[in-house]
Homo-oligomer: A and B are copies of this chain.
């Protein structure tokens, strides 16, 4: 669960264990550096990865290639996490918890790549995110049907707030233990469902 399979292939050929390690170092460094400063140079990324700049270029022909690889890698993780957790059978609240936990696990530490992915020019990647978005909407609608969410709630707005909460939590942590993730999940969902106010009733505003 902690380890993953080949993050990418430079060519189609099998990679030396050595090389694969370097590539991962570069991707991790890229994530770290670029999340701090999206305009960071290849030089800075290479330095953070502890390799020479030329080595980075040997693995990723251009800066764009590197970012694409990063994006794709993160997107695969993301989609896998969501697909694994999302189920139309389980109660919405349970699914919401599971999905949130899994997404947090991926997104914490890969914030830059994930935000890039959301608006990617690559149709495949954009498609993955659109699919996830649709899944989320469906989950929320189901939550509404089962009475978890109020009937008058605007699903699109609720979804955006949910995303925003995850984003907020993600940007405050570079790493997190399982216990942290669980606590953050609970925090997000509690906030999403109840907000911060005391008044239980929701006095239909105007209209």
Binding site for B on A (CB under 8 A): 38-39, 147-150, 153, 157-158, 160-161, 164-165, 167-168, 172, 186-187, 190-202, 205-206
A168→B199 CA distance, assembly (Å): 24
Closest beta carbon of chain B to A135's beta carbon, Å: 17
Q: Quick check: B148 and A191 within 8 Å, CB to CB?
A: no
A29→B200 CA distance, assembly (Å): 45
Q: Quick check: A196 and B153 within 8 Å, CB to CB?
A: yes
Chain B's closest residue to A140 (CB) is B196
A192→B167 CA distance, assembly (Å): 16
Give the copy number: 2
28 A-B interface contacts by CB (under 8 A): A38-B38, A147-B198, A149-B198, A153-B196, A157-B187, A157-B191, A158-B196, A160-B168, A161-B165, A161-B168, A164-B164, A164-B167, A164-B168, A186-B205, A190-B205, A191-B195, A192-B196, A192-B197, A193-B196, A193-B197, A193-B199, A194-B194, A194-B195, A194-B197, A194-B202, A195-B195, A200-B200, A200-B201
Contacts of A165 in B (CB 8 A): 161, 164
A187→B207 CA distance, assembly (Å): 13
Chain B's closest residue to A182 (CB) is B206
Q: Quick check: A161 and B200 within 8 Å, CB to CB?
A: no
Chain B's closest residue to A163 (CB) is B168
Q: A157-B191, A164-B165, A200-B201 are in contact. List 5 more A-B contacts (CB 8 A).
A: A148-B197, A157-B187, A161-B196, A192-B195, A193-B199
